[in-house]
Amino acid sequence: MTGSQDNDLIKAVTGLEGGCVACGSTCGVVSGGSLGIALNHESEIAANGLLGEKKVLRQVGEYADWFGKTYGSSFCRGRTRTDFYSTLGQLKYFLTIYRLAGCFRHIRGSMRYLYQTQHPAKNDSNKTIGKKTGDALHCARAVLEGIRENTGIGNKRLENLSFVFDGGVGLSGGVCGALVGAVTGINLLLGLSVRNMSYWKIVKGFGIGHVNLLVDRPFGTREPFQAGKRVVKKFKEIAGSFECEVITEKKFSGWDDFQEFIKGASRCRKLMDFAVEEASGIIRQYK
38-47, 62-71, 131-140, 150-159: the lowest-pLDDT one: 131-140
DSSP string, 161-195: HGGGGTTTTTTSS-B-HHHHHHHHHHHHHHS--GG
pLDDT of residue 128: 44
Average pLDDT over residues 85-100: 90
| pLDDT at residue 189, as a whole number | 96
d(CA 98, CA 91): 13
The SS3 call for residue 88 is helix
Measured in whole angstroms, how far is the alpha carbon of residue 279 from the centre of its chain? 15
* Percent share of the chain, pLDDT over 70: 93
Ordered DSSP codes for 194-247: GGGS-HHHHHHHHHHHHHHTT-SS-SSSS-HHHHHHHHHHHHHHHHS-SBHHHH
Phi and psi for 73 in degrees, rounded to 5?
A: -170, 150
Does residue 157 have a pLDDT over 80?
yes
How far is the C-alpha of 138 from the C-alpha of 189, rounded, in Å? Answer: 22
pLDDT at 130 over 50: no
DSSP string, 37-91: HHHHTHHHHHHHBHHHHHHHHHHHHHHHHHHHHHHS-SBHHHHH---TTSHHHHH
Provide the pLDDT confidence category of residue 195 given band limits of 50, 70 and 90.
confident
Query: For residue 123, is pLDDT > 60?
Result: no
pLDDT at res. 126: 44
Between 81-85, 221-225, 227-231, 248-252, the lowest mean confidence (pLDDT) is in 221-225
101, amino acid identity: A
Which SS3 state, helix, strand or coil, does residue 84 take?
Answer: coil
Collapsed DSSP state (helix, strand, coil) of residue 132: strand
Report the distance separating Cα 121 and Cα 123, nearest Å.
5
Using DSSP, state whether 81 is helix, strand or coil. Answer: coil
Quick: pLDDT tens for 198-210.
Answer: 989 998 998 999 9
What is residue 150's DSSP assignment?
H
Give the C-alpha separation, 190 to 263, whole Å. 31
